[in-house]
Structure 1
Amino acid sequence: MPTPILHFAPANGFPGGSYRSLLEPLKTHFPVVTLDRLGHHPSYPVNNNWQNLTHEFLAHLDQQVPGKHLIGVGHSLGGVVTYLAALEQPERFEQLILLDPPLMTGLDSLGLKLAKRLGFIDKVTPAGITRGRRSHWPDQASALAYFQGKKLFQNFHPQALADYVDAGTEADPKGGIKLRFEPKVEVAIFRNLADHLTGSHKKLNLPVTVIRGSETDLITPARAKKLEKMGFNCQQLPGGHMFPLENPEATRKLLLQLIQQPATA
């Protein structure tokens, strides 16, 4: 059997290079292909339930890793879009490992539908706090100091934070540097969170592992139990929703363990 390729998809707002400290050492074990970002290609504008993002993801696979034998790994947004892609083309994947993904089903899904319809989706997702976020700095040192003071980044591994600043910014033609992941795209992605996943697991005959952070407010213990009842293997690592960038070494060790001994579908 051909050596499997690990394909990694990042979280909303975090270009793939942000995960260098997690992924680079894995390349000694098997090929690793990292998706840079979703939602920025004009052919795939963000729409409801991340349908266009899924099509963009599949087009990326066609170009970068055609064929089968993929280990699909994704964080947050990247985990759900990997899952959606596997629903459409399960033959590509050997297994899925999803890192704190917003896999909302049942009442959670109904709540999302209601929030979208009644216009308060910004209050139940990070869209509200993302609007108007700072996106420009004089240089990388200034950006690094700025993010070090933000709650979301407080527990990041120092190398992961440096990688985020390096991969997540680019030169601004007007001077200084700016975010590569456009805040307006990030907001649109949050506002269109997938709400159609109830019962979707019945269509997927693949080993699926969900890893949650011990302090996350997304995949709560109650949601983890629900996912286990759906047949997913649920694991836990120290940290919050951003645990892959807070504890890259522990995350990498668990990934290797799961890949070598995949859960049964």
Structure 2
Amino acid sequence: METEVQAVSWQPWQWQAKEGFWLRGVHTQPRGLPVLHFIHGNSYCGRMYEPMWEYLYPHFDLFLHDAQGHGNSDVGGRFVGWRRSAELAKEVWLAHRHLWPDVPHIGMGHSFGGVLTSVLGATNPNLFERLWLLDPILMPPRYLRWVEPLQRIGLYKLNPYSGRARKRRDHWPDHESAYTGLVGRGMFKGWSPQAMRAYVDHGMEQVEDGVRLKCPPSREAEIFGSYMPGLWKLLPKLEVPTDILFGQDSYPFLRESQQRLLQIKQVTMETVPGGHCFMQEHPEQTAQRLVQRCAELSLA
């Protein structure tokens, strides 16, 4: 099946949280199509997935929510936490979903955003008709048994993922040197050239002496140094049909979570080629899977 690619026309939105900072993002002009509400992964932003959006745009309207300190949203002081981030996403969506009356609303998220989207679905069954989660970071309960006490005494923030994030380079002379320096390295290994370009174009901002990551490494580290409490008590409460795509080369600990997810009635899972960011490695194939799934469910 060939999927049409089409340049996306975006409209900005912004919304002020009661904490004082502004959340921002973009959405497409409502066209009477099913709408995807999307939350990105840690340190990313919605438009960094633009190669995938170009394939999905002919079939869906899109609403991209950039979490605190990501994309064009304000850093807003300390990270408000996973649970509050999910609540804020709900508040923003409730303020905008009237733009898409009488069409299916699908909650979608990658990684960190996949967890937030699962929380939204588990706690608000009328918010979305369906959930699509892309490699959500669902730590198995066995891991959480040692994460929770470490979090209480303030030591979980010293985990290796958080430590590497703090050391992440965040400044380059220009966009081209950033692209050249990052392509094919670390978490970007296997990304398509278009996805790498979207990362540089939308994940960085122009500053006086070059370009800088929009998401500060300190914010990325805060998120890696925290977790969503009570997640495995929430997930069995899912009443919304939930489709999860896992990358076959993603984090090994997710395999244990997959076995537990099989026990939740509303969840279906599929393993797809690629790693944790398989949608950045294979944007067209990922879009094809979602379009086909939508057609099979008669959502389009």
Fold-level similarity (TM above 0.5):
yes
In the alignment, structure 1 residue 200 sits paired with structure 2 residue 230: no
Cα deviation for residue 123 of structure 1 reads 5.5
Q: Which residue of 2 aligns with 1:101?
A: 136
Query: Does the aligned pair in 2 maintain the 1:22–1:245 contact within 8 Å?
Result: yes
- Shifted more, 211-220 versus 175-184: the winner is 211-220
AA in 1 matched with 2:120: A
Of stretches 195-204 and 151-160 in structure 1, the one that deviates more from structure 2 is: 195-204
Cα distance change of structure 1 residues 219 and 21 upon mapping to structure 2, 3 Å threshold: farther
Alignment correspondent of 2:21: none
In 1: Cα distance, 2:184 partner to 2:248 partner: 22
Moved more, 35-44 or 191-200: 35-44
Structure 2 residue aligned with 1:253, among 288, 293, 299?
Answer: 288
SS of residue matched to 1:35:
strand
Q: Which amino acid aligns with 2:289?
A: L
Q: TM-score, normalised by structure 1?
A: 0.89
Backbone CA RMSD of aligned residues = 2.3
> Which of 188, 198, 207 is the aligned partner of 1:163?
198
- 2-structure distance, mates of 1:24, 1:163: 12
Structure 2 counterpart of 1:72: 107
More helix by share: 1
Contact 2:157 2:226 (8 Å CA) reproduced: no
Q: 1:189 Cα deviation (Å)?
A: 1.3
Counterpart-to-counterpart distance in 1, 2:116 and 2:92: 12
C-alpha change, 1:115 and 1:96, in structure 2 (3 Å) is same
Q: Which amino acid aligns with 2:233?
A: G
Identity %: 30
Aligned length: 260
Pick which of 93-102 and 125-134 moved more: 125-134
How far apart are the structure 1 equivalents of 2:140 and 2:231? 6
| Structure 2 letter corresponding to 1:30 | F
Q: Which has the higher strand share?
A: 2
1:175 & 1:199 partners in 2: Cα distance?
48
Provide the rounded CA distance (Å) in 2 between the counterparts of 1:123 and 1:239.
28
From 75, 82, 90, the equivalent of 2:117 is 82
Q: Is the 8 A contact 1:109 1:198 kept in 2?
A: no
The 5 A counterparts of 1:1-265 are 3-39=33-69, 40-41=73-74, 45-48=78-81, 50-66=82-98, 69-122=104-157, 124=159, 126-148=161-183, 150-172=185-207, 174-217=208-251, 220-231=254-265, 232-262=267-297
Instruction: Structure 2 unaligned segments of length 5 or more: list them.
Output: 1-31
Structure 1 segments of 4 or more deviating over 6 A? none
Shift of 1:209: 1.3
The letter for the 2-side match of 1:83 is S
